[in-house]
Structure 1
Amino acid sequence: MRTSRWAQSYAVQITHIRSQKILLPFHGTGSGGIRSEARVEKTIFRNRQKQMGIRESRTWYYLKRPPLRTLLLLLAVLLFLFFCYLVWSPGKRVYDGRYDLRSNGIWLQHGWLGDDKWFSVNRRDKSKFRDAKKIEELAGLLKNHGITYAYPHLCPSSPRGDLPPVDNEQTEKFLDAMEGVDVLPWIGGVYEGCCYPDSEKWRKRFVSSIVELLQAHPRLAGIHVNIEPMPDNNKGYILLLKEIKSSIPAGKIVSVAAYPPPTRWHPYPDVHWGKNYYFEIANEVDQLAVMMYDTSIRLPKIYQKLMSDWTREIIPWCGNTQVLLGVPSYDDSGVGYHFNSVENLENSIRGINAGLSKFKELPKNYSGIALYCEWETDETEWMFFKEEFEKK
């Protein structure tokens, strides 16, 4: 081929120049002098172009040479990936409330049940919780948004296994207002900090403390256990849940704050549970509220895709046990595990909607979503929740 002969001739001339270290006279201006090897190469290259009838700009000549050629290729790949991200829609907007079964959940503040000592130690204003009007306002808010499971904070337990004390009068007033809402105190604490599920002695006292609470306030619907972090396949936790279920009054709910499945985006096994552990936990409890946040993800659409994937994994993994999908409405600025612009109601709900849309029929054990948390959910977030999730 003609191009091949040109390339061969060009290569031969350059090789000859380099091997013989030829210094060519400088032509064109009449002065003596020499050309550098690079300029000789350029001259031969252009002469061959002319012979072939090819015209090439100086700019194109340099762009074809490394390292610019490599940088341009990299830039093209990055632009392609950026375009793909822009047109990608892993989430789904839903306005008809098809996934709202009016059986959602929410995590509440300690003050709704806490005793006077808690207010004193934490320097909190009791009037924000003990006022009957405030309690009625909260109850109205939850009922209006289809929230039927409330998890008022009652952590941490003592290293011995005792639950924090409640104010008995306040607890009864709270239960009066929450008629129609299942109130499950949120109990537990830090694993191996104040909670020792691997210890038989600790488990025994913890379970006894739960039984005492439920006997003192029989209108409590059950308890919501949250021990963090909880490593995958921890057998002590399974034993604890078995012992709780067998000890509390019949008909009471055992709920757990569960960890999401493993993901490449957040490779930490102490805050993710695999499929087998989900099966084990689900066999011992009545409800799992899965904490689908604190992923450290920085891109909104990646988080939406993860929420969609988790939704399709978690619900089948729980068998017939009720599942609520936990979503973030909190603001933990300045931490590495949570970015408010990514982990928020908008991205989490749209991701969940996309995941639920992949099921041919809505799974029977799906209950709804659980908001974390009541004390940081503002009016704008409640409005979004109403527009893109609630049944109209």
Structure 2
Amino acid sequence: MRRRLRPILLLLAIATAAVFAWHAWSSGRFVTEVRHDLRTNGIWIQHGWLGDDKWFDRNRRERSRFRNEARIRELSGFLAGHGVRDVFPHLCPCNSDGRIAPADSLQTERFLDGFSGFRVLPWVGGVLGVHCFPESAVWRKSFVSSVVALLGAHPRLAGIHLNIEPMPGGSEAFLVLLDELRQAVPKGKIISVAAFPPPALFQSSPDVHWDKAYYGQVARRSDQIVPMMYDTSSRSSRLYRYLMRVWSVQVLDWSGSTQVLFGVPAYDDSGAGYHIAETENLRNALSGIHAGLESYRVLPENYAGVAIYCEWEMDRSEWASFSSEFGMSR
């Protein structure tokens, strides 16, 4: 009888220890950690802030909401009050021939007038294999030329924010594209990259995760890395906070001296299996990031803050949570 009970008791002991460890495990910190707010955060914003007339016509959107100096000043003042410095106005998707989505010249200058003191980096790119073909030298030439033309037409733009999804880890074509952008864009302009998070045990597909070696290769060719730390499909808040804690340290360590903003979720996408809003939200993301940053005695020099995805889905309660959890509004 004792022999029969022994493995059962052992399994019970292991199970009890596992349950205790799960509940005791500190996967994140719900705190207001002011020292983590460097007032150099980022945010992805809507297409209408720079978009041309055809975009408004195709999408049946009202121009007056965006082409309004008072609204632009209101937005810039609000974002500045929440510690945002970098804004990524949507200019996607590009055409399949490589030309980026057109901006309205007058509106772009109007926007830059209202966002003096910010770094404005148009968000360019699209879906790999639909809009973006970085393996094609012809496509890359067209894409790079249109980026250079945009920056030349509007010298106050700080650079560009490149987002091609999915972008498999190890893609040599993407590295070539970054090299060609670096050679072509005016000196001093920022190349920011919407990156993918490190691998996780339950989700390690190279299509949506980059390993240490690839992070290093992309970082060396970029001025800023913005990992999109969401779409994990996780239904466990504790597990998601744990991922944020681990990923934040890995990305900072793997990116060398390249600046890092952690991309955090503030959107719903109801019904999408890749994103569970009850789990992947600002509160859990910031909690995990706080825990990761607390592992450093001194914050790494390449850490700049967080980037919110996205401005058009942020509501009052989310801004309040953002302020209370990150210590931004002061």
TM-score (norm: length of structure 2): 0.94
Are the equivalent residues in 1 in contact too, given 2:33–2:290 (CA < 8 A)?
Answer: no
Instruction: Count how many residue pairs are aligned between Structure 1 and Structure 2.
Output: 327
In the alignment, structure 1 residue 293 sits paired with structure 2 residue 230:
yes
Instruction: Give 1:165's aligned residue.
Output: 102
Are the equivalent residues in 2 in contact too, given 1:106–1:372 (CA < 8 A)?
Answer: yes
The residue type equivalent to 2:155 in the other structure is: P
Q: CA deviation at 1:390?
A: 2.4
Partner Cα separation in structure 2 for residue 134 and residue 83 of structure 1: 52
In the alignment, structure 1 residue 314 sits paired with structure 2 residue 256:
no
Instruction: Give 1:275's aligned residue.
Output: 212
Instruction: Give 1:130's aligned residue.
Output: 67
Of 88-97 and 75-84, more deviation after overlay is shown by 75-84
Of 262-271 and 237-246, more deviation after overlay is shown by 262-271
Q: Secondary structure at the match of 2:235?
A: coil
Q: CA deviation at 1:89?
A: 2.5
The residue type equivalent to 2:272 in the other structure is: V
Instruction: Give 1:188's aligned residue.
Output: 125
Q: Secondary structure at the match of 1:270?
A: coil
Partner Cα separation in structure 2 for residue 256 and residue 273 of structure 1: 13
Partner Cα separation in structure 1 for residue 13 and residue 58 of structure 2: 59
Are the equivalent residues in 2 in contact too, given 1:265–1:297 (CA < 8 A)?
Answer: no
The residue type equivalent to 2:202 in the other structure is: W
The residue type equivalent to 2:64 in the other structure is: S
Q: Secondary structure at the match of 2:247?
A: helix
Residue pairs, 1:103-122, within 5 angstroms: 103-122=40-59
Q: CA deviation at 1:124?
A: 1.4
Amino-acid identity (%): 52
Instruction: Give 1:342's aligned residue.
Output: 279
- Select which of 5, 27, 37 maps to 1:100: 37
TM-score (norm: length of structure 1): 0.80
Are the equivalent residues in 2 in contact too, given 1:185–1:223 (CA < 8 A)?
Answer: yes
Q: CA deviation at 1:76?
A: 8.3
Are the equivalent residues in 2 in contact too, given 1:329–1:377 (CA < 8 A)?
Answer: yes
Instruction: Give 1:34's aligned residue.
Output: none
Partner Cα separation in structure 2 for residue 236 and residue 270 of structure 1: 14
Instruction: Give 1:218's aligned residue.
Output: 155
Q: Secondary structure at the match of 2:92?
A: coil
Q: Secondary structure at the match of 1:206?
A: helix
The residue type equivalent to 1:381 in the other structure is: E
Are the equivalent residues in 2 in contact too, given 1:300–1:343 (CA < 8 A)?
Answer: yes
Instruction: Give 1:243's aligned residue.
Output: 180
Partner Cα separation in structure 1 for residue 105 and residue 224 of structure 2: 26
In the alignment, structure 1 residue 175 sits paired with structure 2 residue 112:
yes
The residue type equivalent to 1:314 in the other structure is: V
User: Which string of whole-angstrom CA distances, capped at 9 and with x for unpartnered residues, describes residues 153-182 of structure 1?
Assistant: 000111111011111111111000001110
Are the equivalent residues in 2 in contact too, given 1:265–1:295 (CA < 8 A)?
Answer: no
Q: Which has the higher contact order (CA 8 A, sep 6+)?
A: 2
The residue type equivalent to 2:223 in the other structure is: D
Q: CA deviation at 1:79?
A: 6.7
Question: Gapped runs of 5+ residues in structure 2?
Answer: none
Considering only CA atoms, is the larger Rg found in Structure 1 or Structure 2? 1
Q: CA deviation at 1:360?
A: 2.1
Question: Gapped runs of 5+ residues in structure 1?
Answer: 5-63
In the alignment, structure 1 residue 200 sits paired with structure 2 residue 137:
yes
Partner Cα separation in structure 2 for residue 278 and residue 76 of structure 1: 41
| CA RMSD, Structure 1 to Structure 2 (Å) | 2.1
Q: CA deviation at 1:373?
A: 0.4
Distance 1:189 1:132, change over 3 A: same
Partner Cα separation in structure 1 for residue 245 and residue 324 of structure 2: 19
Q: CA deviation at 1:131?
A: 2.0
- Select which of 184, 192, 198 maps to 1:261: 198
